[in-house]
Every structure is written in structure tokens, then in C-alpha cells.
Amino acid sequence: MSWYVLYTKSRTEKVVADKLRERGIEVYCPLIKTKRKWSDRVKTVEEPLFRSYCFVNLEEQQRAQVFGVHGIVRYLFWMNKPAVVRDSEIDTIKRMLNEVDNNHIRVETFSSADRIKIKSGCFTDSEGKVISQQGKTLAVFIDSLQMVIKVDLSRTIVSI
């Protein structure tokens, strides 16, 4: 059995996961606890770590069973095949969510024109404008150098 990635409608990840569990399908929707502030209170809520994604553990021939659940859009594909996530990667996500303070976990995307400051590496304290992002690589125009550099987010700390 393999873990497949389901793409869901926006903000339906938890409901989809519950409905799949009711049907006897093994599903994993990683959740993080975050604090939300309203005008009258602060509340801790659980939000999906990966927006619009759930993982299901199924045999290849059982993949069609999930489409009876409202909120599922499609499977995520990689190179014209359904994307498969290894058991070790699912275990790593689970371990990370149990061991790391949820307030420190974020999946960030940057948009063009965001101003960022590089906090580590050889360009520490340099500021620039995001030109594009491809996966974990940012193309950043550094004003003081008048050049574009590529920043690997897995090795470099940046802030907005």
C-alpha cells in the first residue's frame, strides 16, 4: 500500500479526512496548533500543515474509492503518475509535529515584490526584492549589489 496525495477544496481538509475515516480509509491530514486572535479573545485552533492536501494509504486499484467524498478534487500527479509519498516521509512529518513546537512550523511561499532580509549565509543582513520562487529556491534582487542571487530556503534563513 502506498500513501497518495489528495487535492481537496479549500478549507475542507479536516472534513474530508473525517469522511474518509468513516469509510474505513486510512488517511493522514497533518494539523498544527496555532493561536488565532479575534476582537474579544485568543483561541488555539488546529489548521492543516499543507493547505488543500490530505494523504491516503491505499492499494493502486482502490484509489477510485475516495471520490464519493464531497470536497475531494483529484489526486496530485507527478510525471503523469499519482504522487506517492514514502512511509518514512509520513513518519518524519508525524515525528516533527510531535517533537517541534507548532508555533515554529510554517510552510511559506513568497510572492513577487516581497521585500526580504537574509538572516544567514554569506549574504547575511542583505535585503532585496523577491523576483520569483521555484520550490525552495528564491530569486532575489539585492539592491546594494545591483544583482540577482538565488537563495536556497532549505539552507538559508530569510524574513519578510
- Please check whether residues 143 and 90 belong to one and the same domain: no
| Assigned domain for 110 exists | no
- Please check whether residues 75 and 99 belong to one and the same domain: yes
First-to-last alpha carbon distance for the chain, in angstroms, is: 41
User: Which domain does 74 fall in, by range?
Assistant: 2-104
Q: Which residue is it, cell 535585503?
A: 127
pLDDT in 10s for each residue of the chain, 160 residues: 899 999 999 999 999 999 999 999 999 999 988 888 888 898 988 889 888 999 999 999 999 999 999 999 999 998 899 999 999 899 988 888 887 665 555 556 677 778 888 887 777 888 888 888 887 788 888 877 778 888 887 777 787 7
Looking at residue 120, which CATH number applies to its domain? 2.30.30.30
What grid cell was written down for 128? 532585496
- Please check whether residues 43 and 90 belong to one and the same domain: yes
Q: Which residue is it, cell 485552533?
A: 45
Q: Long-range CB contacts (< 8 A, 24+ apart) of 31-38?
A: 31/97, 32/97, 32/102, 32/105, 33/102, 34/102, 34/103, 35/103
- Please check whether residues 21 and 63 belong to one and the same domain: yes
- Please check whether residues 27 and 6 belong to one and the same domain: yes
Give the number of domains in the chain.
2
